[in-house]
Structure 1
């Protein structure tokens, strides 16, 4: 796990974008597959990727995008759906075609239908060869995707009930908490662990406790993001506020200086 601590959110976004681009450059012989997160934290990262496109450093016109999650009961053409959010905040920004965007289906007529679509989504990720780089944020309760505390560390794409804290955090996007869906479809922690590289970005003091638990706490379903400790290629990009709860700050700063050989 590589922990990079920036002075501010803008620098954190640049470092996270560099980590995404570095992971994509390692892809050889197949179409790029990028895992996409919503929320405010990755917006600066996507802006940096757009700048890389403008410089000619990367081209997302043939890339496949896979969303982390989607609300159940929110039509895909509604403003609050994650499909619409990704079309506006990612596809139009980095040049990823709408036809290449894949989002879980939360509009089945019955639970069994939605569950079957979730399993098919998991299978589709595997069928394209897996996700090359998965972009992640983290919730104030330690969730990644919508894997709430108590999620199995081996879970697959499935239906989840949203925690009260998550619904309260997301109420600003709706006309009050009563309008926030209670359930979602999310990639599971086991699904996320199969991505070749994970890049998590977190900014702000509100994320500090969850970040510290994920990086330095025990591996536990009580903090779903702690599952990142099991992955062989994780880059975590933080600003000073989000890093304020870390105990091993000196070590992370020293590690960021790079590899040196002392003779």
Structure 2
């Protein structure tokens, strides 16, 4: 696990965009994993700007989203498929149908989850997965207590997650759906490169457990310690509880310029 610390979220977005641009230059048909939420937005802004300048293209790429609320109408602005379209997909040149997400309106939820897992496998797996992290250490919607071997499934959202997400629903936690479909921790771990972004002091405890704590289902993101290629991009506030922060800064500063993340 590599820890990268910059004071500017925009700079963190550029670092992640560099990795995605390099991946697409090497393999234009690469498969991306897309996360919603505020943390990845600087990445999407950077990539959209590069696409507009003709520096990167998603025309041959594919993507899979992490999760989806259950039961939100297809035209609801907070349905994650609509959010990712607005934040990213509509701003770049993905081909029609190239981006898939879990079906939160499916009548047969278990079958829909199995089909989604199969679609990711059929695409060759995810080459680079973008992640955020919740204040309670969840990634995607894998809440504390989630199985470290879990696959795409329905989950009940905790009170804390609904409180965190209430800002997207006019501040009303009761308006946040109680259920979602989410990639499991084992599904996420199958990605070849994982890039997790976190900013703000509110994420500091979760980041501390992620990078320096014991692997535990109580802090689901800690499973990433077992992944061979994880890049954790932080601002100083999110990194404020790390014990080895000076070491992380020193090692990243000494990396060869060609190495990337």
Q: Of the candidates 113, 120, 127, which is equivalent to residue 118 of structure 1? A: 113
User: 2:249 maps to what in 1?
Assistant: 253
Deviation, 1:78, is 1.3
1:91-122 Cα shifts (integer Å, max 9, x gaps): 1223324421101011133xxx1111011101
Deviation, 1:25, is 4.3
Q: Does 1:180 align with 2:180?
A: no
User: 2:63 maps to what in 1?
Assistant: 65
Q: Does 1:10 align with 2:10?
A: yes
User: 2:122 maps to what in 1?
Assistant: 127
Q: Of the candidates 200, 215, 218, which is equivalent to residue 222 of structure 1? A: 218
Question: Which moves more between the two structures, 236-245 or 7-16?
Answer: 7-16
Q: Is the 8 A contact 1:19 1:235 kept in 2?
A: no
Give ranges in structure 2 of 5+ residues lacking alignment: 257-261
Q: 1: CA distance between counterparts of 2:207 and 2:13?
A: 16
Q: Is the 8 A contact 2:142 2:184 kept in 1?
A: yes
Give ranges in structure 1 of 5+ residues lacking alignment: none
Task: State the SS of the aligned residue for 1:31.
Answer: coil
User: 1:149 maps to what in 2?
Assistant: 144
User: 2:259 maps to what in 1?
Assistant: none
Q: Report the CA distance shift for 1:26/1:216 in structure 2 as closer, same or farther (over 3 A).
A: farther
Q: Is the 8 A contact 2:131 2:195 kept in 1?
A: yes
CA RMSD of aligned residues (A): 1.5
Q: 2: CA distance between counterparts of 1:147 and 1:215?
A: 18
Q: Is the 8 A contact 1:202 1:238 kept in 2?
A: yes
Deviation, 1:209, is 0.7
Q: 1: CA distance between counterparts of 2:192 and 2:61?
A: 16
- TM-score of the superposed pair, with normalisation by structure 1: 0.92
- TM-score of the superposed pair, with normalisation by structure 2: 0.93
1:116-155 Cα shifts (integer Å, max 9, x gaps): 1011101110011000100000011100000000111111
Q: Is the 8 A contact 2:24 2:57 kept in 1?
A: no
Task: State the SS of the aligned residue for 1:99.
Answer: coil
Task: State the SS of the aligned residue for 1:140.
Answer: coil
Task: State the SS of the aligned residue for 1:237.
Answer: strand
Q: Is the 8 A contact 1:220 1:227 kept in 2?
A: yes
Q: 1: CA distance between counterparts of 2:125 and 2:64?
A: 10
